[in-house]
Structure 1
Amino acid sequence: MSHPQTLYDKIWKDHVVTSQENGLDLVYIDRHLIHEVCTPQAFDGLRAAGRPVRRPDCTLATVDHNVPTAHRGKTALIVDPESRAQCEAMDRNVREFGISYFGLQDARQGIVHVVGPEQGFTLPGLTCVCGDSHTSTHGAFGALAFGIGTSEVEHVLATQTLMQKKSKNMRITIDGTLPEGVNSKDLALHIISIIGASGGNGCVIEYAGSVIRGLSMEARMSICNMSIEAGSRSGVIAPDDITFDYLRNRPLAPRGEEWERAVAYWRTLKSDEDAKFDVEVSISASDIVPVVTWGTSPQDVVPITGTVPDPATFSDPDRRKAAERALIYMDLVPGTPMANIRLDNVFIGSCTNGRIEDLRAAANIVRAAGADAAVAAGVRAMVVPGSSLVKRQAEAEGLDAVFRRAGFEWREAGCSMCVGMNEDQLAPGKRCASTSNRNFEGRQGAGGRTHLMSPSMAAAAALRGALTDARQFRLSSSQAAVAIEPLTPEQLGVTLALSNVISRTSPAIHQPTTRAPTSSASGKVFSVLKGIAAPMYIENVDTDLIIPKQFLKTISRTGMARGLFYNLRNDVNSGAAVDFILDTAPYDKAVILVSTGKNFGCGSSREHAAWSLEDFGIRCIVAPSFGDIFRNNCFQNCMLPIELDVETCRSLAQDAAAGIEFTVDLERQEINCGDREGSPIQFTIDSFRRNCLLNGYDNIAATMQHAESIADFERQRTTNWPWLDGVGYTSQKEGKSSENRSMDW
């Protein structure tokens, strides 16, 4: 009798190429999405090692973070030279390596996590990765989807695999009936407020229950998108008829007999009735109300009818300090009614809420406000579709006219103000109602203040000029929007043939050379590290705080120290240096960082965070827990993340504050603090990661030792799930065998 399995268990088991004795598995990756920010260094690594992209047919590229949304032209018209350089690098790389690409002029361009599902590139049961933390979005289809750093992007491009440790299983069940005015964004924020920004650390969350089953695909994507904000590796929802109806006839979805075969397999993708979860959370739908955030973490949530909380009410000292810091940054006073908070900007868009359903919800609020509805004086409001196809669909439905008449700016597709790597940025001290996913310090612009909410709430806030309960706007029967079916590709004026995307290649496809592979860790080893440790007393140190978005506009791995904790080391208005521990002797020579707060490195997948720490000289970080992607990025750069309990971290921070020199011995797996009495502090690390650090292994070269196992897996994959192979790959197999192709490395 087989052991009951969760949905996550089943997908993981189906994708293990080889299992290691150390608890790590070599996992095959079915779909790889790439964008311009986290890829330049990865392609440079391929060139240096003379490696090709193993599966161009399973890789899809677009540009989204840096692209302008106010106007649209060729890459030469991108004003910022660093943004332009990243987009131009993407253009060169996809041509050289033969990767399908939705460039700035392509009618299918858009945010990577909107493009993948709408093309049918995302399918149930597959593994999907991207150099972007919100890859968890694709879990809404019953896929295992997660973000990775640049070194792992290179690893997937070269091998189509990743060495991974299996996460724990967590299930969040929501049953009942959602109250009026509550939608998926409220649901996601409510979940995070309950379990916390680190509540999902080390887990993959499965969302279940009657509420989840009743949601549309777009609502499910919004919830899975926000899984990373709860500290989870990914979020998944079992596929069902709603999933299949969404995917049917998508450009890259299977057709004919393969469709029927695929659906039969997809129906097996659900947790067994007796499957055991490591963590179970149950939520009653009736407890959920429309909410907004008040602080600088997605866990800082209150009902729109509530007030700004008092930090003194938080029992945990780190949580209390974080709240005090957040209120200073947000310029808020405890007890202030949320509905009294005035706004300067409103942003409707992002990979969380930039889909057609989100734009319809926002437009309905404007309609309900009446023919004279207008954006409040002094407020700048913009609506940014998640993709060019969403934009065309919205315009076909007349949504753009609804927004324009009321004074909203109607934009081109892109990430826009969600991350502020383009021209759409929040000025210092300005306050924004945003449908994006993060309210971190400086996320939308240095010194900018962000309140997260649903599209309906954001639209209502734009009309009133303050945070507003959208339930006060109700459509009459005469105002109700007419349901419009999604337009066909032909109606949208764009051809989306399968062969036009997944099998497209360039005449200049990169060919492997005989050059010896080079190490992605630059030959570095980690054995014994001795030196000064710097203490840090902040909970949920996010990657935006470690290195702000303006320092991500680079095509190299070096020179990152100048951006490390930039917004803590400099005044956001003047740019002048302010007192910060890493600029104060002896901590300006620190090689170790000790954090007393949980969830260090949460947030973005940007490997730049690890690069900036390493460039400064910090090779080891000690904390109670880490963001999963950040932890992996540290290992990829020969840095050591050590996880210890909170009390031990606080004790070590005291030693660090006293200027005591630390010695971290990886061979012995222990930390010694000067002449401190007592035994050394022991830590654990899996044997594979330990050996890689001690010996300076090139992870890609190590994976290539399993070349035949990968080729065997691909042959079986083609037999079991032929719809996952692109036409280009099928044609390639006719010319040479998988055995020969694997030797091309």
Structure 2
Amino acid sequence: MALTLYDKIYREHLVDPDNTTAPLLYVDAHLIFEVPTAQAFDGLRKNSRPVRRTDLTLATVDHNVPTDDRSKYQDAASFVTEPQARTQITLLEKNLKEHNIKYFGMSDRRQGIVHVVGPEQGLTLPGSMIFCGDSHTPTHGAVGALAVSGGTSDIEHVLATQTVLQKKYKNFRVCVEGELGLGVYSKDIILHLLGKIGTAGATGCVIEFCGSTIRNLSMEARMVLCNMSIEGGARTGLVAPDDVTFEYLKDRPLVPSGADWDHALAYWKTLYSDGDAHWDFTVTIDAADITPSITWGTSPDDAIPVTGRVPDPADYDNTEPFKAAAIRRSLKYMDLEANMLATDIKIDRVFIGSCTNSRIEDLRAAARVAKGRKVSDSVYAMVVPGSGLVRQQAENEGLDVIFKAANFDWREAGCSMCLAMNPDVLSPGERCASTTNRNFEGRQGPGGRTHLLSPAMAAAAAIEGHMTDVRDFLTTENGSIRITKLTLGGDTVKSYGSVRVTASAPESAPKPKDEIVANRAARHAVKSADGIPKFDTVSSVPAPFDMQNINTDLVIPGAFLKTIKRTGLGPNLFRDLRYDSETHEELPQFVLNQQPYRNSKILVCTGENFGCGSSREHAVWALVDFGFRCVIAPSFASIFFNNSGKNGLLAIPLDDTQALEKIHEEGLAKREVQVDLPNQEIRDAGGNLIAKFQVDAYTKHCLINGVDDISNTLLSEEKIYDFEVKQKEKFPWLFGRIGKLQPPKRLGLALPGAKDNFDW
């Protein structure tokens, strides 16, 4: 049977192929960080469960960390001044020590953005299954790994069981053919794609990027595409491994060597989509049609060529009223005029960084534009490397000197201004040319305005003080995407340079080949202490919403994610819609500030793609904390939909337009409706049927009985153990790798004044 690459990896990781109700995939590597993990470890502790495979888990810190000078760094407790961020980071460190999990902290030059660290260290391997509680985990798919994300409940699930519940998704092929033009980078490819398919165009799918253009891209350029596949609604993104992949991986710390390399390579070469494999959807793009691009609005699909104009909502009033309304809202928020030239958009800040564009090739592309030039006096520009090793490599190549001479601020590694969770934030009204992945309202700071673009385009905008066609700064010698693989001097250098052990590593006794290091939960810990809130029938006046693409940043802004609890987020639900940004008083016209809607248990939204954006579970927690038990919408983003059921929130996708409008009308009329889960029906106050709805059997079972995923999965512990015994025999190079990592002091990668180095 002909299979796609996704099909092959999915099948290889099914713990029990016969379980089609709640399919479990075995996780080969689990990456964790500070923001969503405190509640997961707390759940383990409450239920007396161990971390099942500490040897397959690696941690770092990135979202909350300050990116200013670390020359006087001693420990996280004294360096991180913001109290909630400090609590999250120090609690992570405490949990990691308790469970003996390897950790790249701020005193370790290997620390960085989790999706930079994974490929950089070689943790990310072709054909493997990667999990991380961050929506941009698809980045790792660039090497041919199946990389998926989820919320805190999924993180706890992986920690406890080394598996993740994962249904089979559809196959979506994106084929890009031809040569990219001058000044066109992978960021422009993905923005072009998003402009074609929208933010929900690949919902329920896994994208595989293919075609001659993709084959000619470097690994780092491929990572940009996979990273932002989530912005098109895809569950993840993939690129088939090839010689570019193998060259990138060879000799990295966690990549197999010797005979294991040979065996792994032989397997990796079988990882491709068969010629006659079935594709549910295909999009073909001519590379010649892609130009340097920016986003103008508040959604990643609001992409236009830098030579283009901002759209006019009047053009869509008759054909796409939802889109027309969204354009008007975005124009107002972004303070732009319809039909204005993209190059007339002035900026206040430039941010080069994030898990999308903070690698060495991104910095080289920006440095080629910045060299010999100066940042405009009206602009503050910053460059934030994706990891300490990227920063070190950039300094070895002299890129820091170029940036500093051009008046860019040269920073330490972290997520930085990608999201408003650390000191690097926009002030209200500030406009930023940003190489990050999302331009939602308030994403980089309350009231901040974000335009997405490539690192080279960002550097050009910094110099001119407004959006600028980067091709005016480039020649064929320095403006090709292929040239980013070379240093500015034209040399070929292995990304991030070499890391050498400065002292002999202690020899450890070899473990028996068939030994599995699994901390298996005791019998009494199989059933969770709390479970999830049960759901039977719910009656309420539905709170009516009339928006599409309601993203997780809008549901709960990033500034409120620095919490170690699952509760207390309700008061800040829809913060930017509910409160005046200056007075912080409630806006009486907003629906949830009115009676009876402030007591609603049901939210009905007539716009598609509810919950797009982050994998953070905080959006669901905020809805539940406010009092909602059910959300009804035409469609949901995949991760939000999955997170909902795990917290007792019933998400009902309802594509019956008449029924949806009827529920919405009942809400406007302040009349109750009843959601009946056992019978899968929605009725009005008179008992009349409005709609039947679909819900998968597993989610229905869990909600009605109040049973959580981990309790269910631990009933299959023997099957998990049997699977990993076979997995280790078949793919031995996936096991025992993380344990070989050396302490930063041994590698000469520890900050001189650091006191918090872990004793590995």
Instruction: Tell me the TM-score normalized by structure 2.
Output: 0.91
The one-letter amino acid paired with 2:202 is G
Q: Within the alignment, does 1:588 sit opposite 2:584 as a pair? A: no
Question: Which residue number in structure 2 is paired with residue 559 of structure 1?
Answer: 568
Quick one: distance in 2 between partners of 1:477 and 1:275?
40
**What SS class does the counterpart of residue 16 from structure 2 fall into?**
strand
Q: CA deviation at 1:25?
A: 1.1
2:135·2:614 contact (CA, 8 Å) conserved in 1? yes
Quick one: distance in 2 between partners of 1:188 and 1:675?
49
Question: Which residue number in structure 1 is paired with residue 722 of structure 2?
Answer: 712
Q: Equivalences for 1:263-282 in 2 at 5 Å?
A: 263-282=265-284
Q: Equivalences for 1:282-293 in 2 at 5 Å?
A: 282-293=284-295
Quick one: distance in 2 between partners of 1:716 and 1:292?
48
**What SS class does the counterpart of residue 535 from structure 2 fall into?**
coil
The one-letter amino acid paired with 1:640 is L
Q: CA deviation at 1:280?
A: 1.1
Question: Which residue number in structure 2 is paired with residue 693 of structure 1?
Answer: 703
Quick one: distance in 1 between partners of 2:20 and 2:736?
34
Q: CA deviation at 1:697?
A: 0.9
Question: Which residue number in structure 2 is paired with residue 549 of structure 1?
Answer: 558
Question: Which residue number in structure 2 is paired with residue 665 of structure 1?
Answer: 676
**What SS class does the counterpart of residue 133 from structure 1 fall into?**
coil
**What SS class does the counterpart of residue 688 from structure 1 fall into?**
helix
Q: Equivalences for 1:399-414 in 2 at 5 Å?
A: 399-414=399-414
Question: Which residue number in structure 2 is paired with residue 49 of structure 1?
Answer: 47
Q: Within the alignment, does 1:346 sit opposite 2:344 as a pair? A: no
Question: Which residue number in structure 2 is paired with residue 635 of structure 1?
Answer: 645
Q: CA deviation at 1:658?
A: 1.3
Question: After superposition, what is the alpha-carbon deviation per residue over 1:556-575, rounded to whole angstroms, capped at 9, x for unaligned?
Answer: 11111012101111122332
**What SS class does the counterpart of residue 381 from structure 1 fall into?**
strand
Q: CA deviation at 1:721?
A: 0.4
Equivalent of 2:98 in 93, 96, 99: 96
Q: CA deviation at 1:146?
A: 1.3
The one-letter amino acid paired with 2:15 is V
Question: After superposition, what is the alpha-carbon deviation per residue over 1:308-331, rounded to whole angstroms, capped at 9, x for unaligned?
Answer: 100122222212111111111001
Quick one: distance in 1 between partners of 2:347 and 2:536?
52
2:183·2:474 contact (CA, 8 Å) conserved in 1? no
Quick one: distance in 2 between partners of 1:270 and 1:115?
25
Change (3 A) 1:582 1:487: same
Quick one: distance in 2 between partners of 1:692 and 1:352?
36
The one-letter amino acid paired with 1:257 is A
Quick one: distance in 2 between partners of 1:414 and 1:498?
29
1:50·1:517 contact (CA, 8 Å) conserved in 2? no
The one-letter amino acid paired with 1:339 is T
Q: Within the alignment, does 1:361 sit opposite 2:365 as a pair? A: yes
Q: CA deviation at 1:675?
A: 2.4
Question: Which residue number in structure 2 is paired with residue 387 of structure 1?
Answer: 387
Quick one: distance in 2 between partners of 1:174 and 1:160?
36
Question: After superposition, what is the alpha-carbon deviation per residue over 1:196-225, rounded to whole angstroms, capped at 9, x for unaligned?
Answer: 000010000011111111100000000000
Q: Work out the number of aligned pairs and report it.
A: 718
Equivalent of 1:180 in 169, 179, 182: 182
Quick one: distance in 2 between partners of 1:279 and 1:698?
34
1:428·1:448 contact (CA, 8 Å) conserved in 2? yes
Question: Which residue number in structure 2 is paired with residue 651 of structure 1?
Answer: 662
Q: Equivalences for 1:115-194 in 2 at 5 Å?
A: 115-194=117-196
The one-letter amino acid paired with 2:306 is I
Question: Which residue number in structure 1 is paired with residue 228 of structure 2?
Answer: 226
Q: CA deviation at 1:19?
A: 3.7
Question: Which residue number in structure 2 is paired with residue 69 of structure 1?
Answer: 67
Question: Which residue number in structure 2 is paired with residue 197 of structure 1?
Answer: 199
Segments of structure 2 that go 5 or more residues without pairing to the other structure are 480-486, 511-517, 741-760
User: Structure 1 vs Structure 2: percent identity of aligned residues?
Assistant: 52
Quick one: distance in 2 between partners of 1:630 and 1:57?
29
The one-letter amino acid paired with 1:393 is Q
Q: Within the alignment, does 1:212 sit opposite 2:214 as a pair? A: yes
**What SS class does the counterpart of residue 58 from structure 2 fall into?**
strand
Question: Which residue number in structure 2 is paired with residue 683 of structure 1?
Answer: 693
Question: Which residue number in structure 1 is paired with residue 488 of structure 2?
Answer: 481
**What SS class does the counterpart of residue 582 from structure 2 fall into?**
coil
The one-letter amino acid paired with 1:113 is H
Quick one: distance in 2 between partners of 1:583 and 1:727?
53
Quick one: distance in 1 between partners of 2:584 and 2:500?
47
Quick one: distance in 1 between partners of 2:320 and 2:27?
40
Change (3 A) 1:535 1:498: farther
Question: Which residue number in structure 1 is paired with residue 33 of structure 2?
Answer: 35
The one-letter amino acid paired with 1:65 is H
Question: Which residue number in structure 1 is paired with residue 459 of structure 2?
Answer: 459
Quick one: distance in 1 between partners of 2:34 and 2:558?
13
Question: Which residue number in structure 2 is paired with residue 13 of structure 1?
Answer: 11
Q: CA deviation at 1:676?
A: 7.1
* RMSD over equivalenced CA pairs, Å: 2.3
Q: Within the alignment, does 1:612 sit opposite 2:604 as a pair? A: no
Q: CA deviation at 1:477?
A: 6.5
Q: CA deviation at 1:513?
A: 7.1
The one-letter amino acid paired with 1:55 is R
2:112·2:386 contact (CA, 8 Å) conserved in 1? yes
Quick one: distance in 1 between partners of 2:500 and 2:376?
36
Q: CA deviation at 1:282?
A: 1.0
The one-letter amino acid paired with 2:27 is I
Q: CA deviation at 1:497?
A: 10
1:181·1:470 contact (CA, 8 Å) conserved in 2? yes
1:252·1:498 contact (CA, 8 Å) conserved in 2? no
1:589·1:617 contact (CA, 8 Å) conserved in 2? yes
The one-letter amino acid paired with 2:406 is A
The one-letter amino acid paired with 1:97 is H
Q: Out of 14-23 and 542-551, give the one that drifted further.
A: 14-23
Question: Which residue number in structure 2 is paired with residue 430 of structure 1?
Answer: 430
Q: CA deviation at 1:708?
A: 1.1
Instruction: Tell me the TM-score normalized by structure 1.
Output: 0.93
Q: Out of 568-577 and 439-448, give the one that drifted further.
A: 568-577
The one-letter amino acid paired with 1:652 is I
1:597·1:646 contact (CA, 8 Å) conserved in 2? no
